[in-house]
A and B are shown apart, each in its own frame.
Chain A
Amino acid sequence: KQEVTQIPAALSVPEGENLVLNCSFTDSAIYNLQWFRQDPGKGLTSLLLIQSSQREQTSGRLNASLDKSSGRSTLYIAASQPGDSATYLCAVRSGGSNYKLTFGKGTLLTVNP
């Protein structure tokens, strides 16, 4: 059974700092991995999707990497801003016949002005 862990559970940084959020998964036979952002009281917004054959994806100040063999992914946020404050969730899609997404519990990020 796939398990996804995100460390740390919470992170507080000053504005402008570069930061890294970590995600690990137990079963390396994944199809792809997705990073989401969740704002309080809102749904999830997809940030980046990395296919299993890819090593990284970039969107603006965000860069996500994937090391399938070691079961790890990182989300790098450059020059953090207060508007980046949210919960970041990592989700792994396993292969096979049903392509289920298994989510980590998230990292609550606070960027202080």
Chain B
Amino acid sequence: DAGVIQSPRHEVTEMGQEVTLRCKPISGHDYLFWYRQTMMRGLELLIYFNNNVPIDDSGMPEDRFSAKMPNASFSTLKIQPSEPRDSAVYFCASSLGSADTQYFGPGTRLTVL
């Protein structure tokens, strides 16, 4: 398996623009997680899905953030409108079970100017 795939790897956009981050989990994994990493706050869980259903979105910072998982092999994290404080590295991870090892993608480095 190719592991967790994320795209794009880098995104530079201007404040107010819509940003869409994409993730393909490892085939067969029932859980998908979106994280955000910053120097100040470290790695924070934003939302996670089980069998394509959002289970806990309490980490989503604001209504500007939304995530979807239309099928078992694809998820998106959307920010609309984007702000400079959203600049961070966004990671997607997947796992077989809720308490199993999580496998991380390479991340998307987002810069909002």
A residues whose Cβ falls under 8 Å from a Cβ of B: 31-32, 34, 36, 41-46, 49, 89, 91, 93, 98-101, 103-106
Interface residues on B, range: 20 to 34
A85 to B108, CA, bound (A): 22
A91 / chain B contacts, CB cutoff of 8 Å: 43
Q: Among the listed A43, A46, A101, which residue makes an inter-chain contact with B4, where contact means beta carbons less than 8 Å apart? A: A43
B101 touches A98 (CB 8 A): no
Give me the 4 closest cross-chain CB pairs, A-B, nearest first.
A43-B104, A103-B43, A105-B42, A44-B104
A94 to B89, CA, bound (A): 24
B residues whose Cβ falls under 8 Å from a Cβ of A: 4, 33, 42-45, 55-56, 91, 93, 98-99, 101-107, 109
B91 touches A100 (CB 8 A): no
B42 touches A49 (CB 8 A): no
CB nearest to A48 among chain B residues:
B101
A32 / chain B contacts, CB cutoff of 8 Å: 99
Q: In the assembled complex, how far is the CB of residue A103 from the closest CB belonging to chain B, in whole angstroms?
A: 4
Q: List 16 A-B contacts (CB under 8 A).
A: A31-B99, A32-B99, A34-B102, A41-B107, A42-B107, A43-B4, A43-B104, A44-B102, A91-B43, A98-B55, A98-B56, A99-B99, A100-B45, A101-B33, A101-B102, A105-B42
A104 / chain B contacts, CB cutoff of 8 Å: 42
A101 / chain B contacts, CB cutoff of 8 Å: 33, 45, 102
